[in-house]
Amino acid sequence: MLRPTTLAMILAGGRADELNVLTYYRPKAAVPFGGFARVIDFALSNLMNSGIEQIAILSQYRSYSLINHIGTGASWDMIGRYRGVSILPPFIDSEQNDWYRGSADSVYKNLDFVKYHNPEEILILSGDHIYQMDYREVIAYHHEKDADLTVVCKRVAKKRASRFGMAHLDNEDGDRGGKLINYQEKSDNPEGEWSSLTVLCFKPEVLYKALAENQSDDSYEFGRDIIPRLMQQGCKIYGYKFDGYWGYTRTVQEYWDANMDLLGDEPLLDLEKWDIRTNLDHRGLRDFQPALIGKDADVTNSMIYNGCVVEGTVKNSVLFSGVHVGPGSVIEDSVIFFSNKIGKNCRFSKLISDVNTVYDDNIEIGLEHGDTSSEIAIVGWNNRVPAGTKIGRGVTISPELDRNTWPQVVEPGRVLR
């Protein structure tokens, strides 16, 4: 067996404030997605399917959920003499005495790990995007162009451009890609129309030099600092064009949208055609019974996973393993995480409910209690919602709320702590 030539490093350390209570106790890469998986499973599965077998995960914020999910890496066949997943948290030694200060700094602080593997190319990936990609095609294009850096890009609508790093490419290779002419990070009026997907392929010596130079700056991010620095130095930077599905899950709305993209007769995101692996031992997923749909239940345009028991109505929703929907309850346009228990005669609309939450009978969430907006309600994990509670649209409920503090009515848009 030949030693791997590519080292992949997954950036999975951040929280993402915009995901609200969903990331109170887990990094955004560990947020559940699609009824059975975690967001990081997409990057890991892409690597597995691309034959890239030496992987490091850079984690910092509340790493336990991520560490528990990754386990030994066996779920992605990452165990072997030259195969493995290493989780690299911050550390203190004679030279380092602080946290990772940014994505670039996290890689810099682990250059001893990188150099030990002596890779021919280094692939830097974000751990919080939903997509399917064969990285071998990116690496082949990178070598074909003898590029110092290759950035995977996707065309995005101009109204969304200010949220991303945007590249202007020449048309050297048509639909395959082109040379970066300009790059702007989160500009209100960017010159380019190609968003960086934070899939970056580097020549090692170029990356080492840029990271070392970046240490004298006051910002340590790949998009904001490293890419512009390399452009100023005249490095050969190419953009590889990607035209597949890409789900960006940084905000609650984007997360909900990506889950809704799983539904329909011709879903925008069709997991049946993607080879997505997850850790079935995490939360005991492999031990759940098949889903049970009661004789009076009604399930329409929804994803229902093993361990679910549905006795009510579920429409346009995603139910993770272990969810129980009681008789007479109606769940619409919602994402219900693992092991939620929903009592009788409840009505939920546009709700994201975190794990292990119990809803007693006759609860209403997201209905027209003084508000007709489309905002999404979020209930944090390990809650017990009292019978008869009415929760308006756009409400946020913190995890593990004291049962004795619940009001009977939670007005739209309120944050309950």
Question: What's the one-letter identity of residue 124?
Answer: I
Work out the percent of the chain whose per-residue pLDDT is above 70: 97
Q: Which domains does the chain have, with CATH numbers?
A: 6-260 (3.90.550.10), 288-416 (2.160.10.10)
Residues 43-68: pLDDT tens digits? Answer: 999 999 999 999 999 998 888 999 99
Torsion over CA of 351, 307, 76 and 55, rounded to 10 degrees?
Answer: 40
Residue 12 has pLDDT above 70, yes or no: yes
Sign, CA dihedral 196-199-201-202, equals positive
Pairing of strands 351-353, 335-336: parallel
**Are 366 and 348 contacting, i.e. CB atoms less than 8 angstroms apart?**
yes
Q: Are 66 and 29 in contact (CB under 8 A)?
A: yes
Name the residue among 387, 396, 391 with its Cα closest to residue 416: 396
Cα distance between residue 285 and residue 321, in whole Å: 7
| pLDDT score recorded for residue 282 | 87
Specify the 3-state DSSP secondary structure of 347. Answer: strand
At 23 the pLDDT is: 93
Q: Name the least confident of 23-32, 66-75, 94-103, 400-409.
A: 94-103
* pLDDT recorded at residue 328: 98
Q: How far apart are CA 382 and CA 305, in angstroms?
A: 20
Q: What pLDDT band is residue 98 in, cutting at 50, 70 and 90?
A: confident
Instruction: Specify the pLDDT at position 13.
Output: 77
Q: Residue 2: what pLDDT?
A: 55
Q: Residue type at 374?
A: S
Query: Would you state the structure tokens that stand for residue 293, as one six-digit string?
Result: 């749909």
What average pLDDT does range 365-394 have in this prediction? 85
Cα distance between residue 128 and residue 387, in whole Å: 36
Closest CA to 87 of 38, 33, 29: 29
- From residue 8, alpha-carbon distances to 113, 122, 202, 274 in Å are 12, 6, 10, 20
Label residue 405 by pLDDT band (50, 70, 90).
Answer: confident
Q: Which contiguous run of DSSP H or E holds residue 299?
A: strand 298-300
Band of residue 82 on the pLDDT scale cut at 50, 70, 90? confident
User: Could you tell me whether strands 313-315 and 330-332 are parallel, antiparallel, or unpaired per DSSP bridges?
Assistant: parallel
Q: pTM to 2 decimals? A: 0.94
Question: What value does the mean pLDDT of the chain take?
Answer: 93
Supply the DSSP symbol for 80: B
Question: pLDDT at position 122, please?
Answer: 98
Confidence band of 152 (pLDDT split at 50, 70, 90):
very high
Query: Is pLDDT at 37 greater than 60 in this prediction?
Result: yes
φ, ψ for residue 74, nearest 5 deg: -65, -30
Structure confidence at residue 157 (pLDDT): 85
Q: Is the pLDDT of residue 1 over 50?
A: no
- pLDDT score for 370: 47
List Cα–Cα distances, 76 to 41, 58, 239, in angstroms. Answer: 9, 17, 28
Residue burial 287-299, b: 16+ Cβ < 10 Å; e: rest: ebeebebeeebeb
Is the pLDDT assigned to residue 276 strictly greater than 80? yes
pLDDT of residue 373: 54
Encode pLDDT of 196-217 as tens digits: 999 999 999 999 999 999 999 9
pLDDT for the residue 368: 65
User: CB within 8 A of 288, min separation 6: which ones?
Assistant: 305, 306, 307, 321, 322
Other CB atoms within 10 A of residue 158 CB: 10
Q: Confidence band (pLDDT; 50, 70, 90) for 117?
A: very high
Alpha-carbon gap, residue 14 to 100, rounded angstroms:
10
The residue type of 283 is R
Token pair in block for residue 28 = 């955004």
Query: Taking 90 as the threshold, does the pLDDT of residue 155 lie above it?
Result: yes
